[in-house]
Amino acid sequence: MPILIERKIRNKYRNYPVTIGEIKFPSKREATRYLQLLTAKRLGLITDLKIHPRWKIEVNGFFICSYTADFSYRDAKTGKLHVEDVKGYRTREYRRVKKLMKAVHGIEIEEITETPGKRGIFYD
């Protein structure tokens, strides 16, 4: 599985896009998390791994917005759904959508904020 880091292109948050196989990720941090989750899936720790899953957010039959997470998967032991967003910066829009996901779908978004080998915990 070839890994390609596109050094010439940067977005406004100073992330470099990374391509793993045929999957494009907007940052190295997100690509690293994908490789960790792929390993966990191969070890049988998680199931139903999805990349960039989407949810529609509707209130009283009116479409408000849609949310695209970075990853979702189920814990192999408990079957609990985990929805993850790899974050470097929490925008106002993201904080709003996070609350809407909890209110409308009952889904708590788990934020991955640190990269492995740096300060802090990468994943609980």
Structure tokens at 23: 């999957």
Structure tokens at 38: 């792929």
Q: Does 109 or 7 have the greater pLDDT score?
A: 109
pLDDT mean over 92-97: 90
Please determine, for residue 56, whether its predicted confidence score (pLDDT) is greater than 70: yes
When pLDDT is cut at 50, 70 and 90, the band that residue 63 belongs to is: very high
Q: Are 85 and 69 spatial neighbours (Cβ–Cβ below 8 Å)?
A: yes
When pLDDT is cut at 50, 70 and 90, the band that residue 120 belongs to is: very low
> Residue 85: CA atoms inside 13 Å, Cβ hemisphere, count?
19
pLDDT mean over 15-36: 85
Residues counted in the chain: 124
pLDDT in tens, 81-90: 999 999 877 8
Match 């814990």 to its residue by tokens.
Answer: 75
What's the N-to-C CA distance of the chain in angstroms?
Answer: 27
Range with lowest mean pLDDT among 6-15, 43-52, 92-101: 6-15
